[in-house]
């Protein structure tokens, strides 16, 4: 029996979206499973099918036309939140 668990996908919500926005998904060329969410012609999200793809985030962002610093801010925010939740659970 394997101890390996599938890693969850990671989604970066990069901008707010109007409820009536025309939305679409676009695959990122050369990055299997990676999708960009577009609303009214503007990139508003990025889906990485595996969290291990964070190692290549800058390359993926370059191919997708996204500012990698914006994505890294989201990663740090998620990590900070997870750490705070774990600290509260331990108390």
pLDDT tens column, 38-83: 999 999 999 999 888 888 999 999 999 999 988 888 887 665 555 5
* Res 90: pLDDT: 60
| Residues contacting residue 35 through CB under 8 Å, at least 6 positions apart | 25, 26, 27, 28, 46, 47
Q: 29 in a domain, yes or no?
A: yes
> Per the structure, how many domains does the chain have?
1
Residue 46's CB is within 10 A of a number of other CB atoms, namely 23
- Determine the structural domain holding residue 44 and report its residue range: 10-90
Q: 30 in a domain, yes or no?
A: yes
For the entire predicted model, the pTM comes to: 0.74
Task: Give the C-alpha separation, 22 to 11, whole Å.
Answer: 19
Q: 79 in a domain, yes or no?
A: yes
pLDDT tens column, 1-47: 456 666 678 888 888 888 899 999 999 999 999 999 999 999 999 99
CB 78, CB 72: distance < 8 Å: no
CB 35, CB 48: distance < 8 Å: no
């Amino acid at each position: 029996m394997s101890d390996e668990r599938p890693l969850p996908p990671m989604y970066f919500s990069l901008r707010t979206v109007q409820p009536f926005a025309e939305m679409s998904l676009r695959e990122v060329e050369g990055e299997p499973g990676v999708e960009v969410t577009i609303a009214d012609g503007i990139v508003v999200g990025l889906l990485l099918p595996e969290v291990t793809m964070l190692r290549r985030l800058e390359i993926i962002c370059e191919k997708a036309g996204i500012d990698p610093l914006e994505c890294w801010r989201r990663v740090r925010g998620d990590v900070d939140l997870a750490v705070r939740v774990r600290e509260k659970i331990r108390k």
